[in-house]
Amino acid sequence: MSQASQSSEQPESKRHPAIVILDFGSQYSELIARRVRETEVYSLVMGYSTSADDLRSIAPKGIILSGGPSSVYTEGAPICDPGLWDLGIPILGVCYGMQLMVQQLGGVVEAAGRGEYGKAPLFVDDPLDLLSDVEEGSTMWMSHGDSVAALPQGFERLAHTANTPEAAVADHRRHFYGVQFHPEVVHSLGGMALIRNFVYQICGCKPDWTTEAFIDEAVADVQARVGDKRVLLALSGGVDSSTLAFLLHKAIGDKLTCMFIDQGFMRKGEPEFLTDFFDRKFHIRVEYINARDRFLGKLNGITDPEDKRKIIGTEFIRVFEEESKRLGPFDFLAQGTLYPDVIESAGTGVDPNTGERVAVKIKSHHNVGGLPKDLQFKLVEPLRRLFKDEVRKVGRNLGLPEEIVRRHPFPGPGLAIRILGEVSAEKLNILRDADLIVREEVQDAGLYHEIWQAFAVLLPVRSVGVMGDKRTYAYPIVLRCVSSEDGMTADWSRLPYDLLERISNRIVNEVKGVNRVVLDITSKPPGTIEWE
C-alpha cells in the first residue's frame, strides 16, 4: 500500500480482488497476498476448493496457486476445480501449486531423488515475461521433496537450479506459469520482481489499491455495518488498537467508546500514558477500568500458556459485558485483529476432504482464540486482512503520531505471557522494571526502530549468584530482540556487545530479585517471537 491518493466506490469487503490466491495449506499463502498488495494491487486468499464458477463471477485478472504440505500424487491430496484451466485467466503455481498444474494438465510429478530446502541460485533459461528483471543466479528459497519429471504438452522450461531441472515453467499461449521455489519469502532475492511481472505484465493489473483507498473502503464498510449503533473498542495503546481507534472515530465519531481495561499486565507507565494520549490530546473517549486484582486472581495457580490466554481473553469479554451495561448499550465490539493473528490461531493445514483449514494451532491469540462461545457482541475487525506494516501506513495516513505508529508490537495478554509459569504481583513488578531497562537502552542506542521487538522474559527458575560477597538465589531474565518485516518470520537481532553489557549490568543492579541475564538467539521458525 502506498500513500498515493486513491478512492473506491465500494467497501473493501465488496471489492473484487484483482488477484486471487487459492490456498492449498501453505504457511505462506497470506504472505503471497501481502506481496501482491505491495505492488498496490488488491488480493484475496480463498480456499483451494473454490469453484471455477465462483471465480468466474469474481472475475480476477490473475490466480495464484499456493504451496502446500501434500504430495500431488497421494490419495486425498487437495486439488482445484479442473474448470480452472478453462477460465482464460493467467495462473501462477507456486511449489505445490506448480506441481498440481503440471499433473492436472498431463505432466508427471514424482518424489525427487534429492529434496531441496533453503537457498538455491536460479539459472534463467528464458528471461522473458515471468522472469524478466530476475537476475541470473538470483537466490531463491526452495522447500520441496517432489519434482516435475515430465512437462505437459505446450509447457517449456524457464529456469533451473542445480538440483531441480524444472524450477520455473510456462505455457506462454495459455498464460500458465509455475515456479518450484517461493518468490513470496524475503529469502528469494528476485521474488518481488517475479511477482511484479506476473501482476503487471502478464495479468495487466493497475496499482490502484493504496492506503487511502483502504481507509475509504473500510470507513464505508464500518458505516454500512454499524449504522446508528454504538461500538466498544478494546484499546490497548498498541499500533493495532490505536490505528483502529482513529479509523473508527473517523467512521462513526462519538458512537465509538474506547475502553481501556488495566488488567495489570501492561508495561511500566503505560496506563497513564494511554488515557492522557487519547482522551486529552485527541478527544477520543476512553473509559479507564482498573481490574488488576480481578485478572491476577483468575490466573492464580495457572501455568499453561494456552490456559492463560483463554482465561485473560474470557475475562476481558466479561469485563466488557459488565461495563457495557453501565455505559451502553453497545451492539458491536471492535478488535484490532491482524492477518498474522488469524494465521497462527487457525493453523495452516487444509483438510483434503473438506477444504477447510486444519487447526494445527501454534498458539491462541488474545484477539482470536480467547473469545468465549457465548460472546454477547457482534465483532468489527476492519484490520483483519492487514499485516503490521500495512497497519502502520494506515495509522500514519489517519494522523496517528509516530510515537504510536512505530511502537513495537505488544501481545494482548501483556506481560502475563512473558512470565513463564504462574503469574504473581512480585514477578510482574520484576518484569516491568527489567523490560523498561531493555527498552530504554535500546532507545538510547538509536536501535529501537531497527528492531521489530525488544523485551524481557522472566523464567520460573532460580539460580545461584553472588552480590557483595553474599550468595543470591534469584530469577534469570531472558533478553529477546528480533528483526522482522511482518512477524511471520524473524531473526534474532545482533545487538552490539557494549549494549548487551549495559542492559545486563543495569538489570542485575537495579532490579531486585534478578541475578542473571541471558540472550535468546533463536529465529522464527523454529521458535516463536513470544515465549508463550
> Is 205 labeled as catalytic in the residue annotation?
no
3-state secondary structure of 288: strand
Spell out the residues 6+ positions from residue 289 whose beta carbon is closer than 8 angstroms to its own: 259, 260, 261, 262, 319, 323
Q: How far apart (Å, rounded) are the C-alpha atoms in residues 357 and 365?
A: 17
Extract the C-alpha cell encoding 439: 527498552
Q: For 19-50, give the secondary structure using H, E and C.
A: EEEEECCCCCHHHHHHHHHHCCCCEEEEECCC
Identity at 431, one-letter amino acid code: L
> Is 381 labeled as catalytic in the residue annotation?
no
- Catalytic residue, chosen from 184, 217, 321, 390, is 184
Q: How far apart (Å, rounded) are the C-alpha atoms in residues 87 and 74?
A: 26
Spell out the residues 6+ positions from residue 525 whose beta carbon is closer than 8 angstroms to its own: 489
Cis check for the bond before 525: say yes or no (omega within 30 of 0): yes
3-state secondary structure of 100: helix
Beta strands in 190-319 (DSSP E): 231-234, 256-262, 286-290
- Catalytic residue, chosen from 182, 249, 365, 366, is 182
Q: How far apart (Å, rounded) are the C-alpha atoms in residues 448 and 408?
A: 8
Residue 35 Ramachandran class (φ > 0 left, ψ -120 to 50 alpha, else beta): alpha
Q: How far apart (Å, rounded) are the C-alpha atoms in residues 388 and 303?
A: 29
Q: How far apart (Å, rounded) are the C-alpha atoms in residues 364 and 337?
A: 12
> Is 95 labeled as catalytic in the residue annotation?
yes
- Catalytic residue, chosen from 80, 95, 258, 481, is 95
Extract the C-alpha cell encoding 103: 499433473
What secondary structure letter does DSSP report for 512?
A: T
Spell out the residues 6+ positions from residue 354 whose beta carbon is closer than 8 angstroms to its own: none
Identity at 398, one-letter amino acid code: L
Q: How far apart (Å, rounded) are the C-alpha atoms in residues 344 and 340?
A: 6
The 10 Å CB-count burial string (b at 16+, else e) for 467-494 is: eeeeebebbbbbbbbbebebbbbbebbe
Task: List, by residue number, the catalytic residues.
Answer: 95, 182, 184
